[in-house]
Structure 1
Amino acid sequence: MPAGQTAPTDHPPDPVLRAEQDHLLESRAALGRMRTTTAGLTAQGADRLATEHLKQVLHRRMLSLQDDPAVPLFFGRLDYAADLGAEHDETLYVGRRHITGEAGGEPLVIDWRAGMALPFYRARPADPMHVRRRRRFGFSTGALTAYEDEDLAGGAGASGTGSAILQAEIERPRTGPMRDIVATIQPEQDVIVRAGLDSSVCVQGAPGTGKTAVGLHRAAFLLYAYREQLGRSGVLVVGPNASFLSYIGDVLPALGEIDAAQATVESMLADATGLVVRATESAARARLKGDARLAEVVRRAAWGHLAPASGTLVLPRGIHQWRVPAYLADEVVAELRARGVRYEAGRAMLAQRLAHQVLLRMEAAGDSPDDRVQGAVARSREVKAYVSSLWPALDPAKLVLRLLTDADLLAAAADGLLSAEEQAELLASRPGKTPRTARWTLADLALVDEVTDVLSRTPSLGHVVLDEAQDLSPMMLRAVGRRASTGSMTVLGDLAQATTPWAVGAWDDALAHLGQPEAVVTELVEGFRVPGLVIDYAARLLPVIAPTLTPPRSVRHSAGELDLRRTDDPLAGLLAAVQADLAQEGTVGVVVPDARIAEVAAALGTSGVAYDLLGEAGDFGTDAAPRVDLVPATLVKGLEFDHVVLLEPAELVAAEADEVTGLRRLYVCLTRAVTSLVVVHTHDLPGALD
């Protein structure tokens, strides 16, 4: 049991708690001094550009030093011992950021990512890692309330999820956006978090295993351990939708990291292509457009524009006319193709190579041209026109439009790859006539991005975190993967939660499409969020939706609450369940089939329940921050609520393209609850749940 339990106060009666609270107050004062010192610095570089860079550095430093009194500055303590192999006896406090004291710059708190903090997560009696005692702290609204010691040298005390403080943190209600798990990271999670920048990892995580948090904490660790390198190359977090990004948006800033960009696949592709998704399409067509074979189709379509020389290049300069014969021009084109250069790079090189051939003829005639002459020749009207006849300039969006509307172009590019029926399916999409007015779909944008990469190499970031990766098509995976072509990735997902018709069915396939075939796949099955009753009930679906996966198991002490309510009036049953949940602590997620949103929204409004509608801006309730979220089933993935009320599972399953996809969607919806799940239904439940 935690020692020294007491009410939160600045002067706890327990002398140990009092000493630790004094250290907390000293640390908070030191953090304030660090921020004041930073605020007083003046950015003055050698020139205007350097000055602006310094201003940005100072601004980011100020943001990283922000103090939230409700968040404890440290959550653990390590007592290193010389007789256990440490250099000397030393006490270190572990927190979210490094805090330095005034005297001699001694650390009052060390960053959880520092090497010296590693034993807090991985030390055990069999391997104490030079630490005699590990202490965990309990907090309430930023005030220290309890402590709990583990004697690693003697093997006494609570450890792992046997820790009462750690268990209390796991059981704490989920209110607001996702919070960090820095105080509760488990050893198997920490191994993933601290994997080096040169390693790509794939985490197959059951619901509630913390895979998203692990991925975000890995990003925070990499930004700390490889700050200079990633400061240049960048970090990107890719999530399934804007609501999800909003939900996780506070995690990295809470850990002192503000330099990681966030995007959805749609926003990433829209920014890259300059196009906007304006339409949806049938599952069959979207699946076809997302097929990896389309990568070769668009590559052929682009390179198929190269044409053999139809005549001699003639360049008049002064009284001379310099000629490059057609056969020689074709040889230059063939040599460039053999080098494997990108389309636009080859086009630029072709102009220079032709200009070089002209200079060779000038030299043979007794002239002495230099590089400036070659550059002028390459830019000449005659050379540019000749290059365009051999190697025409292409626009990615226009090429995709032509591919989806020109039967002859598609047939030539898809020969041996797509059947006649598949080609007809693509031609039936008819997105439009111009890139500006076309009704682009998300699958179309992935095709445009593929063409863009054929033309010019996509710049690579240092690290990409991809969440809910199981839902992406091969073409979408390729689009994300090329953003890390020279970097590494953290790939997160759960094959049992794959709910798109174009989803990849195996991690080996997904990693191959991402360009990360060597990534290590790790499976997390211990659930820290979903209570036992709920996860065991949802796991009944696994033999149908993901028979190869290990069933998850909950490590929470609370079994949670599961209530299956059959009723002739589902809306009345839903409202009764919501009112009962509002009488308890925590958030309430009302998860309903998308087609029922308007109906349930009207019922909630009529009954006076304040709520937010997920996926739309604005507050639909009467309170500033309603505890109830109305969530379409298609947007609930990745979110969590203390209490979940789920309406009509059978309708939810029937709304999907096939039964397996529908059951996977149901599995997602069933596993969003942290404390209680109420299933309200009139129709029979799916057979797998009986």
Structure 2
Amino acid sequence: MPGSIKEQEQQHLDGVVSKIKDAQVEAKRRINTAESDETGIRNNFQNDLRIKTDSYTGMMETAISVRQQQQMLAERQNSWQHATSQLATLKRLQKTPYFARIDFHELGEPKSETIYIGLASFSDKPDHFLVYDWRAPISSVYYDGGIGEVTYQTPDGEQAVDVKLKRQFQIEDSKIKTVFDTEEAVGDQMLLDALSEQSDTKMKSIVTTIQKEQNQIIRDTKSDLLFVQGSAGSGKTAAVLQRVAYLLYRYRGHLTAGQVILFSPNQLFNDYIDQVLPELGEHNMVQMTYYQFLGRRVPNMKVETLTERFAENESTSQKRINDVINSLAFFKAVTTYSNHLGKEDMIFRNIPFRGKNFISAEQISEIYYSFNENYRLSNRLQGTKERLIKQLNRRITSEMKTKWVEQAVQDLSQEQINDMYAGEAKESDSDDKEFKFLARKIVVKEFQSVRNAIMKNRFLSINSQFVHFLRSVPQIINLEKYGISREDWQEKIKQSIDHIKDRHVRLSDISTYLYLYDLMTGKKGERAMRYVFIDEIQDYTPFQLAYLKFSFPKARFTLLGDLNQAIFTKENSKTLLEELSTMFDKDKTRVIQLTKSYRSTQQITDFTKHILTNGEAVDSFAREGALPTVSVQPSMDQALDRLEAQLAFNDSERETTAIIGKNLEDCRALADQLNGRGVKATLIQSENQRLAPGTIIVPSYLAKGLEFDAVVVWEASKVTYHDDDERQLMYTICSRAMHQLSVIAIGELSPLFDQVPEKDYEIVK
């Protein structure tokens, strides 16, 4: 690269940085002014405000004065927030104002244009942009095309431009390290440099290296369902986080981060990605796991955890039952059952009051079914509640005459009487009036528990109703078609009843339980949510997806995952696309496949893809590295020696290592053994822990979505991994590695590696 081009570009960069610094000074001045003005307004407010309550006019004057002060404070607060936000953006831009330049000619314009693209827009005067935000429509040209004619989408429709130059920069602390011109969207050198970096405990933004296919995901605004099938390390999660940032930019003023929700595989992953959006100047969206989404609604029940779910050893009949419970057919069965409840079989509970029934379950049922059959369940329930509240209000007068109320009035102290009259005129002319006043107060207060029970639907019995539904399933679904006997289903009902009694519920049951409750009570879902993102979609069941679609009826869905990594749903994940096609409008559904893996070296990608038998296509990006190593040791001690040697080598390469065991029990045992040998390693036992720098030991099901410099597959023996349906699990474990992959087994290597060609790995003694 001629020095003159680099020098010219550095000169331009120096000019931009100088103007960014000027803008920082101005932003700081506006912050100080806003703070000073706010302090002045507050002081004046305290000194000048005279509350006038002697006349209506005086009260109005006071109210207007207070309102004016509030408006002035709000204006200063907005000014302060805007300047503070702008200053934060300018500080980010100062070190690396931009990463790309494009020169293009727009048809009909007299001359070509040059624009620079960075993490945020920056202009030194109105409509004079020195840097364009990577999300601006014109920036799409950088990601989508090469040199020559390129079209891009604008709010006014498609626009064509003739691209003359694409130039990329690597800038650190306001200094250009390298400049290179390319005909590609993102030059291989820039991507290679980014991929060769060491991993971190936090995911980074990928805006400088977004690929063409990733850009399609980011900028899609038309699909109701965007399904991204991406191989491990294809950048699907990173692209989707940039998609959130793009949508917040594109619909600024109409969409907030609180209207976007991301369902992630575990809490560890939430912690790993939580810096990506703030790095781009956006607030984080709502983040939770499906387990948290359900668990928050049943705080008095213990929902099955990821660890418990992974440790389950299911019999053949249990697997068949789970297949039914997790299906779309079962979701429809719950809907059918709820329609039946409009006619009969709704189960009610007595509403108690002072040791007796305020109203019995039979009386509530009579009220409930007195409404016309055409009433929806929600309308029928609302009507029932209104009738019960009327009954409660009518009972106040008769209850005031009871003995317990008379005694309660007599037992009142003078202080309690004064409290009851607080804010109300005391009628001292009649003892009878005073008694009635106090009696009413006591009864209304005591009736509050009944009122709460009515308003919070406590007269419904969701537990009993759920069990009744399970007993009704054989009349709604032909279980024989699924190979389930009557005895197997009865056993399933018994297990569910036992779990509910223990206040413990399985993840598969809780979705059914809550969907049934929502239908019974007329809950319409969270209608304010506009975008739902679901990561690791292959581990969701059709029932769960249908329930999420029901729970967010106004939202557009982006689903991403790798059908090769289905560690919970296994083979059922293959039918997922078929099931999804029945839930969404086909004309507004888009499927994007990302087959190129960027995370791992070519050697690791080639090794891992052979673990799969008929996996989805996986292509490796041409990044060279060492061959994966396989070591089979005769004893635990020798395996630990080999592990220590590998950790020492990884440390010398400055690579952080994740030792991935199959389950938590194996990981705990290994942590104890390494500790006994004086080897430092952090054991990740739950998803609520944070990733720590250095060596970590983590169970396989918590490693989803994460990446590490080096991965050691611990105890990859035939004893530990013997089932063919564990191929997807082993593929998931191995594909976490970026630069180094080591497999250690005791005794005999797992047959899951039988199909890996010998040339794709190195045997280490």
What is the TM-score when the length of structure 2 is the normalising length? 0.70
Aligned CA distance change for structure 1 residues 147 and 626 (closer, same or farther; 3 Å):
same
CA distance in 2, matches of 1:452, 1:440: 15
TM-superposed deviation, 1:288: 4.7
TM-superposed deviation, 1:260: 1.2
Deviations 1:335-393 (A, max 9, x none): 22xxxx4x2234325788x99xxxxxxxxxxxxxxxxxxx97998789xxxxxxxxx99
CA distance in 2, matches of 1:614, 1:217: 28
TM-superposed deviation, 1:71: 6.2
Q: 1:165 aligns with which of 190, 196, 207?
A: 190
Query: Aligned letter for 1:670?
Result: C
Aligned CA distance change for structure 1 residues 205 and 46 (closer, same or farther; 3 Å):
farther
SS of corresponding position for 1:429: helix
Aligned CA distance change for structure 1 residues 471 and 106 (closer, same or farther; 3 Å):
same
Corresponding residue of 1:77: 101
Aligned CA distance change for structure 1 residues 278 and 491 (closer, same or farther; 3 Å):
closer
2:500 paired with 1:453? no
TM-superposed deviation, 1:577: 0.8
CA distance in 2, matches of 1:49, 1:449: 44
Q: 1:335 aligns with which of 369, 374, 396?
A: 374
2:298 paired with 1:234? no
CA distance in 1, matches of 2:381, 2:689: 53
Corresponding residue of 1:533: 603
TM-superposed deviation, 1:587: 2.5
SS of corresponding position for 2:16: helix
Higher helix share: 2
Aligned CA distance change for structure 1 residues 538 and 327 (closer, same or farther; 3 Å):
closer
2:742 paired with 1:678? yes
Corresponding residue of 2:348: none
Corresponding residue of 1:317: none
Query: Aligned letter for 1:173?
Result: Q
2:21 paired with 1:37? no
Corresponding residue of 1:268: 293
2:328 paired with 1:292? yes
| 8 Å contact from structure 1 (residues 529, 556) kept in 2 | no
Aligned CA distance change for structure 1 residues 273 and 223 (closer, same or farther; 3 Å):
farther
Query: Aligned letter for 1:37?
Result: R
CA distance in 2, matches of 1:206, 1:196: 23
Aligned positions of 1:472-487 closer than 5 A:
472-487=540-555
Corresponding residue of 2:420: none
| 8 Å contact from structure 1 (residues 527, 556) kept in 2 | no
Corresponding residue of 2:470: 410
Q: 1:521 aligns with which of 591, 595, 598?
A: 591
Deviations 1:46-68 (A, max 9, x none): 79799789969965984575345
CA distance in 1, matches of 2:335, 2:188: 56
SS of corresponding position for 1:489: strand
Query: Aligned letter for 2:729?
Result: R
Query: Aligned letter for 2:514?
Result: D
TM-superposed deviation, 1:514: 5.8
| 8 Å contact from structure 1 (residues 400, 447) kept in 2 | no
TM-superposed deviation, 1:258: 0.6
CA distance in 1, matches of 2:631, 2:499: 52
Query: Aligned letter for 1:79?
Result: D
TM-superposed deviation, 1:17: 2.6
TM-superposed deviation, 1:533: 1.1
Q: 1:125 aligns with which of 137, 147, 154?
A: 147
Q: 2:134 aligns with which of 87, 93, 112?
A: 112
Aligned CA distance change for structure 1 residues 519 and 65 (closer, same or farther; 3 Å):
farther
Aligned CA distance change for structure 1 residues 636 and 617 (closer, same or farther; 3 Å):
closer
SS of corresponding position for 1:542: coil
2:709 paired with 1:642? yes
Q: 2:631 aligns with which of 550, 554, 565?
A: 565
Deviations 1:77-97 (A, max 9, x none): 223346x65575433221112
What is the TM-score when the length of structure 1 is the normalising length? 0.77
SS of corresponding position for 2:524: coil
Which protein shows a greater Rg?
Answer: 2
Query: Aligned letter for 1:345?
Result: N
Corresponding residue of 1:424: 490
| 8 Å contact from structure 1 (residues 4, 147) kept in 2 | no
Q: 2:282 aligns with which of 257, 272, 297?
A: 257
Aligned positions of 1:569-588 closer than 5 A:
569-588=638-657
Deviations 1:137-166 (A, max 9, x none): 11346643111124xxxxxxx524544223
Corresponding residue of 1:184: 209
Q: 1:632 aligns with which of 668, 693, 699?
A: 699
Query: Aligned letter for 1:134?
Result: K
Q: 1:93 aligns with which of 102, 108, 116?
A: 116
| 8 Å contact from structure 1 (residues 206, 494) kept in 2 | yes
TM-superposed deviation, 1:72: 2.4
CA distance in 2, matches of 1:209, 1:451: 38
TM-superposed deviation, 1:118: 1.4
SS of corresponding position for 1:127: strand
Corresponding residue of 2:567: 499
Query: Aligned letter for 1:479?
Result: Y
Corresponding residue of 1:441: 506
Query: Aligned letter for 1:114?
Result: A
Aligned CA distance change for structure 1 residues 264 and 409 (closer, same or farther; 3 Å):
closer
TM-superposed deviation, 1:563: 1.5
Structure 2, unaligned runs of 5 or more: 42-66, 151-160, 346-364, 397-453, 480-485, 758-765
CA distance in 2, matches of 1:609, 1:36: 53
| 8 Å contact from structure 1 (residues 97, 110) kept in 2 | yes
CA distance in 2, matches of 1:72, 1:609: 40
Aligned CA distance change for structure 1 residues 610 and 432 (closer, same or farther; 3 Å):
same
RMSD: 4.1
CA distance in 2, matches of 1:431, 1:196: 46
Aligned CA distance change for structure 1 residues 203 and 396 (closer, same or farther; 3 Å):
farther
Deviates more, 1:69-78 or 1:37-46: 37-46
Aligned CA distance change for structure 1 residues 199 and 72 (closer, same or farther; 3 Å):
farther
CA distance in 2, matches of 1:201, 1:334: 39
TM-superposed deviation, 1:430: 3.8
TM-superposed deviation, 1:598: 1.6
Identity value in percent: 21
| 8 Å contact from structure 2 (residues 564, 612) kept in 1 | yes
Query: Aligned letter for 1:453?
Result: D
SS of corresponding position for 1:486: coil
TM-superposed deviation, 1:659: 2.4
| 8 Å contact from structure 1 (residues 612, 630) kept in 2 | yes
Structure 1, unaligned runs of 5 or more: 6-11, 151-157, 310-325, 356-374, 383-391
Corresponding residue of 1:16: 9
CA distance in 1, matches of 2:687, 2:732: 24
Query: Aligned letter for 1:291?
Result: S
SS of corresponding position for 2:199: coil
SS of corresponding position for 2:509: helix
